[in-house]
Structure 1
Amino acid sequence: MAKHIDLGKKGEDKAAAYLLEKGYIIVARNYRYLHHEIDIIAWDHDELVIVEVRTRTSENHEHPRDTISTAKINSIIAATETYILEHELDCQTRFDVICWIPHENDDDWQMEHIVDAFRPTP
């Protein structure tokens, strides 16, 4: 597996562990609809939380949250709409971003959880 894919998977695994530790209930990982993907779908009490995980190799690159384009946001929203319809959900939905930047010591990661990072436009 390519190094960037391994790094992304590790970041997603760490994000899932973090969410579980915080009491979230994870219902799906790597949910796909056509060419759209959601990294993590979870419940935070009665709110559906859609989580985009971003991982970068060092702090010298742009902040991971700044790498989420409008096209990516629209893709996440499209997949979310399909997930909600498929599961016949009627609930509040929130879009979070979890950013990971590993340091030289692979066990020492800087993490930022951005709650309600973006909203769909009407």
Structure 2
Amino acid sequence: MAIHNALGKAGEDAAAAYLERNGYEIRDRNWRKNHLELDIVATKDNELIIVEVKTRSNTEYVEPQDAVNWQKVRRIVIAADAYIKHFCIDMPVRFDIITAVGDIGAFKTEHIKEAFYPPMF
């Protein structure tokens, strides 16, 4: 596994652990349907939370959440719609971003709740 892939997986592990420590129930990790993917799908307080995880070794050049541009938001929303339809889910949906900055085993995580809203297509 390439170093950046290992860093990304470790960041997702840190994000999932953070969510579980804070009372979220993880439904799925790296859920895929065709070319669509959701990093983490969780629930808390009868709400479905779609979490995009961004991992970086440092923030020298850019903040991790800045990588979630309008194209990425669009893909996440389409994937979330597919997930909701596939599992026949009827509950409010929230889109969050969790950033993990640092080295494997020593991440600083930040949870950005309601990081974006679904755009109107």
Q: TM-score range by the shorter chain?
A: over 0.9
- 3-state SS of the aligned residue for 2:51? strand
Higher relative contact order (CA 8 A, sep 6+): 2
Q: Which moved more, 1:54-63 or 1:21-30?
A: 54-63
- Say yes or no: does 1:48 pair with 2:60: no
Which deviations, in whole Å up to 9, do the C-alpha atoms of 1:54-84 show, x marking residues without a partner?
Answer: 0011121200000112111111111100110
Give the Cα–Cα distance (whole angstroms) in 2 for the partners of residues 66 and 55 of structure 1: 11
Counterpart contact for 2:16–2:40, Cα < 8 Å: yes
Count of equivalent residues: 120
Indicate the residue corresponding to 1:79 in structure 2. 79
Matched, 1:38 2:38: yes
CA RMSD of aligned residues (A): 1.1
Structure 1 segment 22-37 matched on structure 2, within 5 A:
22-37=22-37
Equivalent AA in structure 2 for residue 76 of structure 1: I
Listed as ranges, the gaps of 5+ residues in structure 1 are none
Contact 2:10 2:105 in 1 (8 A): no
Residues 1:2 and 1:51: Cα distance change in structure 2 (over 3 Å) = same
**Inter-partner Cα distance in structure 2 for 1:14 and 1:110:** 9
Q: Give the TM-score taking structure 1 as reference length.
A: 0.93
When normalised by structure 2's length, the TM-score is 0.94
Q: What secondary structure does 1:118 align onto?
A: coil
Aligned to 2:59: 59
Between stretches 27-36 and 3-12, larger displacement belongs to: 27-36
Provide the identity percentage.
Answer: 43
